[in-house]
Amino acid sequence: MTTSATVPDWDAELQVYEPHRAGIPPLRPYFRDLFQRLPFAAEFSRSGMKAAHSETVFGQLWLVLNPLMLALVYFLLVNVISQSNAGPEALARIVGGIFIFYFFSGAVSTGAGSVTTGGRLILNMAFPRLLMPLAAVRTAFFRFLPTVPVYLVFHIIAGGAWTWMMPLGLVFLGLLTLFAMGMAAFMATVQVYFRDASSFLPYFLRIWLYISPVLWSPELAESRFGHYAKLMVLNPLYSLIGGWTDLTLNGVMPSATIWIAATSWALVALVGGSLYFLSRERDFAVRI
Amino acid sequence: MISLSASDRSTSVSETKLEPGVQDATGAVQDSPPVDEAEKSRRKTPKQTPLPGEPPTVSVQDVTIVYRTTFEKVPTFKSAIVRLGRGERAVREVEAVNHVSFDVPRGTSLGIIGANGAGKSTLMRSIAGVLPPTSGRIEVRGKISSLLALGVGFNGLLSGRENVILGGLAAGLSRDQVEERAREVAEFAEIGEFMDLPMRTYSSGMYQRLAFSVSVHMDPDILLIDEALSAGDASFKVKASEKMSELMSSSRAMFLVSHSLGSIEQMCDDCIWMHKGKLMMHDSPERCISAYTKFLKVGEDAFTLDDL
């Protein structure tokens, strides 16, 4: 059509399909394609949310109510178990922590199912599959957004600090998003090979919630475990969520260790998860 | 059935009721008198011809596709552990396409025929870039629009319009292009106000019509069609065939997989016949079809590869 009048750059639109089932496809064209089709991921996530009624008033309300009630339950639980009278400050920490953890767990669990539920789209269209888990992370992020103003209300009630450092929390939110992308890609791949992975995932995430500084504060861990508390950075969410809480709630600058740990974990997960996904991506069409 | 000129239309409509299955077609094709060459060229639309020195639009070079798939219905940790205990491996290899090579120059419409399980759809998927070949190489020049057997990636909860937009975006079109296309698609598919209703409310005919309209409205350079001509009722078929002949004059190549040998004979000017993953024959549609129908009648035992 277009080339017939002019001349022949025969290879202008050349696409070559060669065997690389277990290998990694050429990265540059892959990511060029990926960025070109980001609108698809956005639309995929938007229409998915629409189908789930997330855009209606009560749909939005539920997105807030669900983690909020969970936070209240945990607040009661912490009060009962520790037999202390945790004040509104603890409540704000738990609410903020649960909200952000919910973002993470939502991203990972929808991401895990993104490929296996992609069915026909995966079977019939050739596009960078990594868009599927990315769309899941976007969905989780947009579900997280309406919880932010609710958190701010609790922040006010708790008399939390308002400092110039608060916006820096966005850096940790960004890092957590990158980390979630990597984990979503990883879990999506695992799910293709082991369909029951999705049954284990909720328990796995629940345990992860308990070992992360959501219900408890890092200071508490230090007072209880002493030197061993230093090992906590091995848990990626310790630095990612800890840094977020420090900046947004406590108005404290996290230590250099936290910054470094959060950044490295985010990058390791993103690169590792994506590469694992890419290396298996070509296999998906026959495995679904 | 597909006819390309206005005068044939009335007859072709009545024919559609007797969509020939493979067995019917065998008789029909064998008994019919050879098609007059002049008449045939009149029926076929003018197409693009390759420019001097132009490489083939699609080049399939010694391609083998082996599926490695599990024979478990649902692969799980549990079954993996059980298997590990027994020392079994769950992976089974299926050789769907076996050392197939052919070139498709610009302006060709290639028919692909063969019995069920011949590897036709697998080959189409790999040309569309969905399935990578296990060995060999496939070169494709141009944008592909595929209408594979399962339809486009449709989500029943979303409306037809949203599905069309999603499909277009996945195919790499821009948002503006896609929204414009969605209007044309709705019009062509004649589904009216259903376009904005969830797809789970569609009848199967509406579903197929929409799938067909989507694939022909994506400005394809190369069109892959897998058993899609059964979409819709008689009047839609006529419309579909007109659209196809229009596309054939504008697109670079067309692939048609069909069990309807009549459509292949009418629409295609080149043909391959596949059987159990092997390329049996690459010739004119008439000769491929007569060899294929002979093969079906005589049976596999009497007609091995050696006889070719």
Average pLDDT over residues A142-167: 86
> Residue A89's pLDDT is what?
81
Q: What one-character DSSP code corresponds to residue B75?
A: -
User: Please, what sign has the CA dihedral across residues B171, B145, B150, A30?
Assistant: negative
pLDDT of B185 strictly over 60: yes
Three-state SS at A5:
coil
- Terminal C-alpha separation, chain B: 30
Distance CA B70, CA B87 (A): 15
Residue A190 lies in a domain: yes
Least Cα separation, residue B54 to chain A (angstroms): 7
pLDDT of B47 strictly over 70: no
Q: Which residues of B touch A17 (CB under 8 A)?
A: 126-127, 129, 132-133, 137-138, 140
Are residues A286 and B80, on separate chains, in Cβ contact within 8 Å? no
Residue A22 lies in a domain: no
> Residue B24's pLDDT is what?
41
Which has the higher per-residue pLDDT, A257 or B28? A257
Max Cα distance, chain B (Å):
69
Strands (E), chain B: 58-70, 91-104, 108-113, 135-141, 144-147, 222-226, 253-257, 270-275, 278-283
Q: Is B243 on the interface with A (CB under 8 A)?
A: no
Share of chain B above pLDDT 90, in %: 1
Residue A140 identity (one-letter amino acid): A
Bridge partners (DSSP) of residue B29 are none
Residue A11 lies in a domain: no
Q: Is A287 on the interface with B (CB under 8 A)?
A: yes
8 A C-beta contact, residue B289 and residue B271: yes
Q: Which residues of A touch B150 (CB under 8 A)?
A: 120, 123-124
Look at residues A174, A183, A169, A170 and name the one whose alpha carbon lies nearest to residue A136.
A183
pLDDT of A12 strictly over 90: no
Residue A10 lies in a domain: no
> Residue A100's pLDDT is what?
93
Are residues A123 and B80, on separate chains, in Cβ contact within 8 Å? no
**Choosing among B65, B68, B130, which should be mutated to test the A contact, i.e. which has the most A CBs within 10 A?**
B130
Structure token pair of residue A179: 């980390």
Distance CA A179, CA A163 (A): 26
Tens of pLDDT along B19-38?
A: 343 344 344 444 444 444 44
Q: Which residues of A touch B78 (CB under 8 A)?
A: 196
Look at residues A207, A198, A208 and name the one whose alpha carbon lies nearest to residue A109.
A198
Structure token pair of residue A146: 């309406």
> Residue B88's pLDDT is what?
64
Q: How far is CA A123 from the centre of its chain?
A: 26
Q: Which residues of A touch B151 (CB under 8 A)?
A: 120, 124
Q: Which residues of B touch A10 (CB under 8 A)?
A: 54-55, 141
Instruction: Report the alpha-carbon angle A165-A170-A175, nearest 5.
Output: 125
ipTM at complex level: 0.74
8 A C-beta contact, residue B221 and residue B140: no
Least confident of A40-49, A99-108, B66-75: B66-75
Three-state SS at B116:
coil
Are residues A195 and B76, on separate chains, in Cβ contact within 8 Å? yes
Tens of pLDDT along A167-226?
A: 888 999 999 999 999 999 999 999 988 888 888 899 999 999 988 888 887 777 777 777
Tens of pLDDT along B199-250?
A: 888 887 788 788 778 877 777 778 888 765 565 677 877 887 788 778 777 7
Distance CA B119, CA B115 (A): 9
Shortest CB distance from B138 goes to which of A10, A16, A282?
Answer: A16
8 A C-beta contact, residue B63 and residue B135: yes
Distance CA A106, CA A138 (A): 10
pLDDT of B39 strictly over 70: no
Q: What one-character DSSP code corresponds to residue B108?
A: E
Residue A15 lies in a domain: no
Percentages of chain B per state (helix, strand, coil), in multiples of 5 = 45, 20, 35
Distance CA B226, CA B236 (A): 17
Read off the pLDDT band of B15 (50, 70, 90).
Answer: very low
Q: Is B137 on the interface with A (CB under 8 A)?
A: yes
> Residue A9's pLDDT is what?
65
Residues 6+ apart with CB under 8 A from B231: B205, B208, B209, B211, B212, B237, B240
Q: Is B133 on the interface with A (CB under 8 A)?
A: yes
Shortest CB distance from A286 goes to which of B69, B129, B142?
Answer: B69
> Residue A14's pLDDT is what?
74
Average pLDDT over residues B262-283: 86
Share of chain B above pLDDT 70, in %: 70
* CB contact residues (below 8 A), chain B span 160-179, against chain A: 162, 165-167, 169-172, 174-175
Distance CA A238, CA A246 (A): 11
Tens of pLDDT along A38-71?
A: 988 998 888 888 877 766 788 888 888 888 888 8
> Residue A123's pLDDT is what?
76
Provide the domain limits for residue A74.
Answer: 27-287
Q: Which residues of A touch B136 (CB under 8 A)?
A: 18-19
Shortest CB distance from B69 goes to which of A125, A126, A287?
Answer: A287
Which has the higher per-residue pLDDT, A96 or B3? A96
Which has the higher per-residue pLDDT, A181 or B49? A181
> Residue A232's pLDDT is what?
80
Q: What average pLDDT does the structure give for chain B?
A: 73
Q: How far is CA B155 from the centre of its chain?
A: 22
Structure token pair of residue B100: 């197939």
Distance CA B2, CA B45 (A): 13
Q: What one-character DSSP code corresponds to residue A254?
A: P
Structure token pair of residue B221: 């350079």
Count of the separate structural domains present in chain A: 1
CATH 3.40.50.300 for the B6-56+107-135+143-307 domain, yes or no = yes
Residue A96 identity (one-letter amino acid): G
Least confident of A87-96, A169-178, B123-132, B208-217: B208-217
> Residue B40's pLDDT is what?
47
Are residues A196 and B78, on separate chains, in Cβ contact within 8 Å? yes
Which of the listed ranges A108-112, B23-27, B159-163, B298-302 does the model predict with the highest average pLDDT?
A108-112
Angle between helices B160-170 and A38-51 (to 10 degrees): 160
Query: Beta strand B108-113 with B270-275: parallel, antiparallel or unpaired?
Result: parallel
Which has the higher per-residue pLDDT, B237 or B284? B284
Average pLDDT over residues B156-175: 81
pLDDT of B167 strictly over 60: yes
Distance CA A238, CA A244 (A): 10
Residue keyed to tokens 């069109």: B223
Structure token pair of residue A152: 């701010």
Residue of A nearest to B124 (CA): A124
8 A C-beta contact, residue B284 and residue B174: no
Q: Is B132 on the interface with A (CB under 8 A)?
A: yes
Residue A20 lies in a domain: no
Least Cα separation, residue B166 to chain A (angstroms): 6
Three-state SS at B138:
strand
Q: Is A189 exposed, middle or buried (0-12, 13-18, 19+ CB in 10 A)?
A: buried
Residue A73 lies in a domain: yes
Query: Beta strand B135-141 with B58-70: parallel, antiparallel or unpaired?
Result: antiparallel
Three-state SS at B74:
coil
Structure token pair of residue A178: 């990158």
> Residue B22's pLDDT is what?
39
Three-state SS at A164:
coil
